Structure 1
Amino acid sequence: MKTESSHHMSGTAFAAFDKNLSPAALGYTFPAEFAPHKATWLSWPHKEASWPGKISSIYPSYAAFIKYIAMGEEVHIHVGDQVMQDFATQHLKQAQVNMENVYFHFFPTNDAWCRDHGPAFLTNPHAEHRKALVKWNYNAWGGKYPPYDLDNLIPLKIAEYRQIPYFKPDIIMEGGSIEVNGKGTLLTTEACLLNPNRNPHLSKTDIETYLQEYYGVSNVLWLKDGIIGDDTDGHVDDLTRFVNEDTVVTMITEDKADENYKPLKDNLKLLQKMRLENGKQLNIIELPMPGEIIYEDMRLPASYANFYISNHAVIVPTFHDPKDEKAIDILTDCFKDREVVGVDSLDLIWGLGSFHCLSQQEPL
C-alpha cells in the first residue's frame, strides 16, 4: 500500500495534445476491457446522498470487489484525505485485500462513479507516448447531481500522476455509455448520447464522429433505450457487453409484465441485425434479468451486465435472486481464462450502479 501525492511529477509528457489532432489520426485506440490491464482506478465512496441511509452497508461488498481486482493488477483509489484513506484501509484489510497492489491518491471527488468521471485510457504501441488519455467533460448525467466539479478534474490528475499526454474534446461523455470490442466496433445507446441534457448542440452524426475520432473506432452501433431505474438515461453497461471481439451478452427478461420486457426485446432485435467492423454478425448470448428490486417505492437498475472484467477475475453483481447462479454460470462459460465471481450488490445498487459503474480500467 502506498500513498501517492498529487504534486506535479518530473517529466514532460503531461500536456494536452494539439486541438487539431484526434487520437484516431495519431493511431490511438481504446482497448477492450478484456485486454490486459496495468491497473484499475476507483473513487472511494463517501457521498451519503448516493446511498441514503445505507452507505455504511456497502463497504464489505466494495472491499470484496477490490480484493478480486488486486489479485491480478494494481488498484489506484482516489481519497479526499488521510482520514478517508485510513477508513478505506481498515475495510480493505478486513477483506484481506493484497495491499501491495493498492495505491491511494489524495484526489478528492464528489462521488464514486469512476467509470463516468474517470479518463478513457488509449494506447498506441508505435507512438512516442504509448499511452494517452481522453479527458471528457462530466456533468453528473445531465446535471442531475451537483456538485461535480471535483469529479470533472480526475482525468487531469491521473494524466499528471502517470505523466501521460491527454486529449480534451470539450464535450460531455461517460465511460458507462459506451462499450468496445477493441477491433473497431463501439456500442452505445440513443437514449443516453442523444439526450439533450448532454450535448444539445451536437447531432447524432456529430456524436458518432467524436466517438470514432476519440475512441479510435470505425463502426458505431446504436441501441435505443436503457433499463428502468437507470438514472444515467440508459447506459449500455447495464444492457449489453462485449465478452470477446465478436460476442456480446445482453440482458433479457421472459416476464411480459416487466417494464423492461419490451425495451430489452427491441434491443435484442437490433443486435441481431447489427454487423461488426468486419461485416460478421454478432454472437449474442442472453443473460437473464434479475427480478424487480424495489426500495423506497423505486425500481433499482439491477443488472448482471454491470460486471467488471479485471485481469484475474470477472466480478458480477448479485442480488439475492434465484437467477444469480444462472448469470454466473453463463458468464463462466464466456470467460474461460478468468475466475468469475459473484459479489453481493443488493445494498450497492441503492446507489443506482454497481461494479462496472464504479471502476475504470487502465490498459498495459
Structure 2
Amino acid sequence: MNHPVSPLTPAELGFRMPAEFTPHDACWMLWPQRPDNWRYGAKPAQAAFVEVAAAIAESETVFVGVNDDQYENARNRLPSHIRVIELSSNDAWMRDVGPTFLTHPDGRLAMVDWEFNAWGGLHGGLYFPWDKDRRIRRKIADMLGIERFIAPLVVEGGAIHVDGEGTLITTEECLLNPNRNPDLDRSEIERLLRAYLGVETIIWLPRGCYQDETDGHVDNLCCFVAPGEVALTWCDDERDPQHAISREALAILEAASDARGRRLTVHRLPMPGPLTIAEAEAGGVDRLSSSRPRQSGDRLAGSYVNFYIGNSVVVMPRLDPAHDDAARAILERLFPGRRVIGIDAREILLGGGNIHCITQQQPAARPCRP
C-alpha cells in the first residue's frame, strides 16, 4: 500500500516510538545463514534462533524472514505456529535493519525507515553489500499496509532506547561516529531524533560496551525496563576496560532527568565473562574480504542487557554459568509480571550481537489498511 508522502514529520503528526515494555502485536526476526559471520554454515546459530523465536512466541506472534534458498529449512526447523515469510536479507540483525515502529493516539501504526550502511559503510562497516537489508523496511511497510517515514539519518535500532514517555538514550560512540553521519553535528542529530521518534529529552552516554563491533550500541549497555528505570551492564573488575565504561555511564544516568522530570533509578546487571572466541569457533567461519574476520582470542561484547521484553516473557541470554543465575534473578525482580526465559546464546554472540539485536518488536496498534 502506498501512502502519500507527508511534508510533516512523524512528531508533528502525533506519532511516537513506544517503549519496548508496552504491549506488542508481534516480533520480527531474520534467519541466519551467511558462512562468513556464522560458523559451520550458521547451523549452530540457527538452532539458537529457533529457541529464541519459540520463547517469544509464547508471548506474541513471531515473524521470521528467510532468504529463498533457506525457506524450506527454516520452515521445517521452526515451530509451526511461527510465521515464516520470504524476506531477503544480507544478515540476520533485525533490530538494526528492520523498522523502528511508531504509534499514534488514534491507534495507527507507522514506521521510520532510517538510512543503513552496515555499521559504518566502507569505513569500518561489518560486511558488504547491504542492499537487501536496506529494502527490508519498505517490504515490511508494504506487508502491514502502514505509513513509512524516510529519515535522512543513519541509525540502527540497537543505537536507541526509549521510555515511550519522551526520553531517549544513545551513545556518542555510535551516533556521533564519522562513519554514520559525518555531515551532521550533535544538535542536528538530536533535532532529527526528536522529529522522527517524538522524543523530547536525549541522554548521551559516551561509549557502549567494550569491543562492541557496532561502535557502541546502547542496547548492549543500557536499556529502559520501566518509566524512570534502566538496567546497566556492570563490571566490578577495575582491570577490565568495561569497569570505567560502566561507571562513566552510571554517573551520567544518575545525574540525568527524564522528559517527565524524574531522576533515573539504575539497576546493575553483572557482565558475563570476560568472554573470548575459542580457536575452534573461529575456525568454523569462512574468511572473506567483504566481511569482518572472526579470530581466536577476540573479545566478545557479552552483555545480559541484550534481552527481549515480550508481552508475558523476558527472553535473556545465558552466557556464563558464573553469572547467569544472578542476572536472571535481577530480571525476575525487575519484571515480576513476566516469565524470564534463559536461552543459551553464545552462538548468537559469536556473530556479533545477541537476543535484542536479532529481534524487533511491533507495538500493539491498529494498522491502517486499504
- In the aligned structure 1, how far is the partner of 2:153 from the partner of 2:260? 29
- In the aligned structure 1, how far is the partner of 2:239 from the partner of 2:27? 38
- In the aligned structure 1, how far is the partner of 2:328 from the partner of 2:72? 33
1:36 maps to amino acid: P
Q: 2:54 aligns with which of 50, 53, 67?
A: 67
1:23/1:213 contact within 8 Å kept: yes
Task: Give the SS at the match of 1:169.
Answer: strand
- In the aligned structure 1, how far is the partner of 2:33 from the partner of 2:197? 31
Percent pairwise identity: 39
Tell me the residue number matched to 2:37.
50
2:31/2:46 contact within 8 Å kept: no
Tell me by how many angstroms 1:196 deviates: 0.3
Tell me by how many angstroms 1:335 deviates: 0.5
Tell me the residue number matched to 2:77.
91
Is 1:119 aligned to residue 99 of structure 2? yes
1:132 maps to amino acid: A
Tell me by how many angstroms 1:323 deviates: 0.7
Tell me by how many angstroms 1:59 deviates: 2.1
Q: TM-score, normalised by structure 2?
A: 0.90
Is 1:170 aligned to residue 148 of structure 2? no
Tell me the residue number matched to 1:6.
none
Query: What number of residue pairs does the alignment pair up?
Result: 342
1:229/1:352 contact within 8 Å kept: no
Tell me the residue number matched to 1:137.
115
Q: TM-score, normalised by structure 1?
A: 0.91
Equivalent residues in 2 for 1:315-326 (5 A)?
A: 315-326=315-326
Structure 1: state its 5+ residue gaps: 1-11
Tell me by how many angstroms 1:16 deviates: 5.4
Equivalent residues in 2 for 1:330-341 (5 A)?
A: 330-341=330-341
Cα 1:217–1:260 change in 2 (3 A) is same
Is 1:15 aligned to residue 3 of structure 2? yes
Cα 1:344–1:54 change in 2 (3 A) is farther
1:28/1:122 contact within 8 Å kept: yes
Tell me by how many angstroms 1:354 deviates: 0.6
2:166 maps to amino acid: G
Task: Give the SS at the match of 1:160.
Answer: helix
Tell me by how many angstroms 1:164 deviates: 0.7
Q: Deviations along 1:107-143, whole A, 9 cap, x unmatched?
A: 210000000000011110327xx11111111110011
2:28/2:362 contact within 8 Å kept: yes
1:34 maps to amino acid: F
Tell me the residue number matched to 1:28.
15
1:68/1:312 contact within 8 Å kept: no
Task: Give the SS at the match of 1:48.
Answer: coil
Tell me the residue number matched to 1:231.
213
Tell me the residue number matched to 2:282.
none
Q: Deviations along 1:58-102, whole A, 9 cap, x unmatched?
A: 222211111111112111111111x4122112222xxxx3x23x2
Greater shift, 58-67 or 281-290, is seen at 58-67
Is 1:346 aligned to residue 346 of structure 2? yes
Tell me by how many angstroms 1:15 deviates: 2.7
1:187/1:236 contact within 8 Å kept: yes
2:174/2:217 contact within 8 Å kept: yes
Tell me the residue number matched to 1:248.
230
Tell me by how many angstroms 1:104 deviates: 2.2
- In the aligned structure 2, how far is the partner of 1:312 from the partner of 1:88? 25
Tell me the residue number matched to 1:104.
84
Is 1:278 aligned to residue 260 of structure 2? yes
Task: Give the SS at the match of 2:53.
Answer: helix
2:183 maps to amino acid: H
